[in-house]
Structure 1
Amino acid sequence: MLGRIILVALGILIVLSVILNEFLVSFNLLEFFFTLIFLGYGLNFFKKRNLGTLGSLIFGIILLLDTFDLFPTSLNFWELVLLMIASYIIAAGFKGLFHIRKPHLKINKSIISENLPPKFIGDTLDLSTDVDWSSVTIDSSKIETPVKVKAVIDNDIYSFKQEYDSSKVHILNKLKVSNVKVPERAKITVYLNENINYNYRAKLNVSVAFFDLRQIKTREVRIKSTASKITLIPSQKDNTTVDVDSEVSAINIKLPGDVALVLNHVGDLNFKNFERMYQREDGTYISDNFSEASYTCYLNISSEISRLNVEFI
């Protein structure tokens, strides 16, 4: 706003100087107004560190010194033009010497930490997550509530919501339609209570997920993924059924030694590695520790152009 006011005032003064033959306007007054303009723009150098703002700052200082007659001799118009050119040449030299860069833009981040739901009824909770371009971790923790959510979210890029009632928790993190920049992944960590039973549903879109369910009582897990990377460690405290609908995703199953795996796969895989797995007559695969394992994970996978890796830990 200040710069616009200065421009309007300067324009009026120039018009008056032409009409009234410089009766009201002297060269020094015009020089003073140009000093304000160049200094006003040049001071933006401390916010926008670029060649233009630094050159304007240098020339604005020169104009200021000449306006108050701080040079040995007064400078004429053409000398000022040469000094303006020199100011931008000096700015270009400084940029090359000191690698002047723009400061990092501030990100409108939210750091979230909440315990959900406040009032829990029953012994089983339905948990669901629906995320875009996020890093999601499910882990166990000694907490009093069924769910503890920790998240770092850029509010300019994502729309983050938590919905819940006495027996359900739904976590939603979707990219805003208006976003045009490539975002940094949101980081979401969900801690679950080791003494509660869970039914878990996950929807992943271009995300990275690490589901460590070893100390969690999971009855049913359903995962729908698109262009995502998933690492899953089944529960060591309960038999679990895991249904995965995968499109162009990488799935890595890590089996504890006391958990057996029964795998049923339908669809296409462009890579598979089944460590210590044997195929049965019905087409399903079974791990070699099935007879002595304490618990079993029943894994049903429907895939399109995906990768599947099974390994023991």
Structure 2
Amino acid sequence: MEGRIILIALGILIFLSVIFNEFLVSFNLIEFFFTVIFLGSGLTFFRKRNVGTLGSLIFGIILLLDTFQLFPTSLNFWELVLLMIASYIIAVGFKGLFHIRKPHLKINKSIISENLPPKFTGNILDLSTDVDWSSLNIDSSKIDTPVKVKAVIDNDIYSFRQEHDTSKVDIFNKLKISNVKVPERAKITVYLNENIYYNYRAELNVSTAFFDLRQIKTREVRIKSTASKITLIPSQKDNTSVDVDSEVSSINIKLPQDVALVLNHIGDLNFKNFGRMYQREDGTYVSDNFSEASYTCYLNISSEISHLNVEFI
């Protein structure tokens, strides 16, 4: 903003000085005006630490010295223009010599670790996650509660909250509407109890997700994804039904050797790789280990301009 004001004011000064031969302009008054502007912009160098603010600081000092006639001779307009150019050249040179950088800004981060819900009844939990611009991991762990959440969140960028009752846990991490910065991804890990059954719903917006469900008893999994990257490993402890609604996303299914996959897909894919799968008469795809697999993952995908890959691990 300061740079634009300086350019506008400088253009007006040049126009009036050349066209009207300084008839309407008091040069000393204008010089003092620019002294204030350049020094005001230049003093922010100690906070912003960049070439522009250093150049403004150097030129502002020159204007201040000339305004109070501290040079041996008074400088005319064109000499000041050359000195302004020289000030920014010197600033660029200092950057090369001393690597001028912005100071490290303190980030208002929260490190969250909670066990949920505190009072759990029954053996089935409904879990949901709704996240923006986050790195989300779902994994199993030998924990006493159904869910353990660990997260690193920048409070200036995200609004993070959790809701729960005796049989449900909802986790939200949404971008604040007032935020104008390009955010660093939040990091969220959710650990699930290996002895509890889960119904899981995930909403992902411009996020990266890794769902390792191998040791988790999942009954139903529903994923809605927009511009995200998803890696899913199905459960090796129970048959699982997975529904994916994908818009411009990348989906990678990693199958354990003892888990079969039945895939039903509708919509558009810009790339697909269905290795070790064959298509049945009804249009569904089945993995070649279907007859000997211990469990089966029934995967239904509705997609628009997405990438789908199936591989065995």
1:301 aligns with 2:301: yes
State the 1:173 CA deviation: 1.0
CA RMSD between the two structures: 3.2
In the TM superposition, 1:46-57 aligns within 5 A as 46-50=46-50, 52-53=53-54, 56=57
Q: Aligned letter for 1:145?
A: T
**Counterparts of 2:199 and 2:279, CA distance in 1:** 29
Q: Aligned letter for 2:224?
A: K
Moved over 3 A (4+): 38-46, 50-60, 74-79, 85-92
* Paired residues of 1:45 and 1:54 also in contact (CA < 8 A): no
* Paired residues of 1:43 and 1:57 also in contact (CA < 8 A): no
* Partner residue, 2:13: none
In the TM superposition, 1:13-162 aligns within 5 A as 45-50=45-50, 52-53=53-54, 56=57, 78=74, 89=86, 92-93=89-90, 95-96=92-93, 97-98=96-97, 99-162=99-162
Gaps of 5+ in 1: 1-37, 65-73
Write the deviation string for residues 225-281 of structure 1: whole angstroms up to 9, x where unpaired.
Answer: 111111100001111111111112111100000001111112222211111111111
State the 1:76 CA deviation: 6.4
The TM-score, its normalising length taken from structure 1, stands at 0.75
The TM-score, its normalising length taken from structure 2, stands at 0.75
**Counterparts of 1:309 and 1:245, CA distance in 2:** 15
**Counterparts of 1:311 and 1:224, CA distance in 2:** 21
**Counterparts of 2:128 and 2:226, CA distance in 1:** 16
* Paired residues of 1:248 and 1:305 also in contact (CA < 8 A): yes
Q: Judging changes above 3 Å, is the alpha-carbon distance between structure 1 residues 95 and 103 closer, same or farther for their aligned structure 2 residues? A: farther
* Paired residues of 2:43 and 2:53 also in contact (CA < 8 A): no
Gaps of 5+ in 2: 1-37
State the 1:105 CA deviation: 2.8
* Partner residue, 1:230: 230
Q: Judging changes above 3 Å, is the alpha-carbon distance between structure 1 residues 41 and 193 closer, same or farther for their aligned structure 2 residues? A: same
State the 1:45 CA deviation: 4.0
Tell which deviates more after alignment, 189-198 or 39-48.
Answer: 39-48
* Paired residues of 1:52 and 1:88 also in contact (CA < 8 A): no
Q: Aligned letter for 1:229?
A: K
* Paired residues of 1:264 and 1:283 also in contact (CA < 8 A): yes
* Paired residues of 2:44 and 2:53 also in contact (CA < 8 A): no
* Paired residues of 2:41 and 2:56 also in contact (CA < 8 A): no
Q: Which has the larger radius of gyration?
A: 1
Write the deviation string for residues 147-173 of structure 1: whole angstroms up to 9, x where unpaired.
Answer: 111111122221111111111110111
